Amino acid sequence: MALLNVTPYDREFYEKNLSGYLPSRFIDCHNHVWLKQFVTGHASASRSCAWPEMVAQDNSVEDLLETNRELFPGKEVIPVLYSYVNIAVDPIQSNEYVREKAAQYQLPALYLSRPEQPAGEVEKAVLEGGFAGLKVYLEFSPSYIPTSEIRIYDFLPKEHLSLADRHGWVVQLHIPRSRRLADPVNYVQLYEIEQNYPNLQLLVAHLGRAYANEDIGNGLEYLKHTEKTVWDFTANTNIYVMEQVLRYFGPERFIYGSDFPIFRMKARRVVENGFYINEIPAGSLGDVSADPHMREIPYPEAEKITFFIYEEIAACRQATDALGLSKEDIYKIFYGNSARIFGVK
């Protein structure tokens, strides 16, 4: 039985817009895998968007591999694995699951670290587990810090940055704060990390969460002199933002990620007054009326809403086409850059 409902419209969209654009083999730098039994606590409603929780209760590695087989026929997709970033999911069980499955399927993986962990504990876990580095997330910041005041160093402490720098690890970072990339606290600290820890490889997830044009602010201009920081366009469908990041940093510092299982949902994104809204087929995710980021589209119009990941890659294609990027550049974005970063042969 198929995991996803792939309709003739979805297949037509893939063949027309994506199949010839994507390399035959590509790397997905951004995947969450966990099992339902690892959910031992309660999510933080104040620190996380509600809508991703509606898509999947869990995502086994086998489901992830099947997702890629169904969505990308004729392609080989190499996913980078790590846990779901939610305080409800037990990090010890989920990190061990990621370690086991990465070894079983010979896939790259990141260790989900928590800021309160002693540096020695993190170092031991990463080295012994064969992880490529760290996945960090704002939800693990101390609970007494208001969400609007979280800083990068609250969930990525300097002791962990020093470790990553010493070992040359990857650090994948979802920046905090409501102004996203436009917030000076964020872009100044991103610059500091590259300057002070030059041997680690920083990946800025979601293009700095710049889902609307207004989310860029002065961030890219401030960061234009960085030399290593790489940007993943996971869960971002904003063509203008993609173009701007590519103009500032080039295709060598721009990589693909899916955010599976979240972006296997069917949706399209619109931005209104600087606020993103995901338009989804009516009834596809249950009651979404309480979430301002969600809007239901009635049928038959909803039949023309395809998978969110298709929308993301189609937006990337429009951005790279507008800039006149070559097939070699596309190969770097979808394979070469991540292969270098994660050591994929």
pLDDT of 118 above 90: yes
Tell whether 84 is covered by a domain: yes
Residue 45: what pLDDT? 53
42 pLDDT above the threshold of 90: no
Which whole number is the average pLDDT over 318-324? 98
CB-CB contact of 264 with 308 (8 Å): yes
Please write the tens of the pLDDT for every residue from 266-293: 999 999 999 999 999 999 999 999 999 9
Q: Any idea what the CATH number is for the domain that residue 329 is in?
A: 3.20.20.140
119 occurs within a structural domain: yes
- How far apart (Å, rounded) are the C-alpha atoms in residues 28 and 21? 15
For the chain, the average pLDDT equals: 96
Alpha carbon 66 to its chain's center: 19
- Is there a domain that residue 277 lies in? yes
49 — pLDDT class (breaks 50, 70, 90): confident
* 53 domain-assigned: yes
Q: Is 163 exposed, middle or buried (0-12, 13-18, 19+ CB in 10 A)?
A: buried
Name the domain count of the chain.
1
How high is the pLDDT of residue 48?
65
- Range of the structural domain that residue 330 is part of: 8-340
Residue 345 lies in a domain: no
> Is the residue at 32 inside a domain?
yes
Rounded Cα–Cα distance for residues 335 and 344 (Å):
9
DSSP string spanning 164-188? Answer: HHHHT-EEEE---STTGGG-HHHHH
Say if 300 falls within a structural domain.
yes
pLDDT at 41: 81
Q: Tens digits of per-residue pLDDT, 143-187?
A: 999 999 999 999 999 999 999 999 999 999 999 999 999 999 999
Q: Do residues 32 and 59 make contact, with C-beta atoms less than 8 angstroms apart?
A: yes
Would 1 be classed as within a structural domain? no
CB 10 within 8 A of CB 305: no
Q: Are strands 268-272 and 275-281 parallel, antiparallel or unpaired?
A: antiparallel
pLDDT digits (tens, 9 = 90+) for 72-114: 999 999 999 999 998 899 999 999 999 999 999 999 999 999 9
Predicted confidence (pLDDT) at residue 46 exceeds the cutoff of 60: no
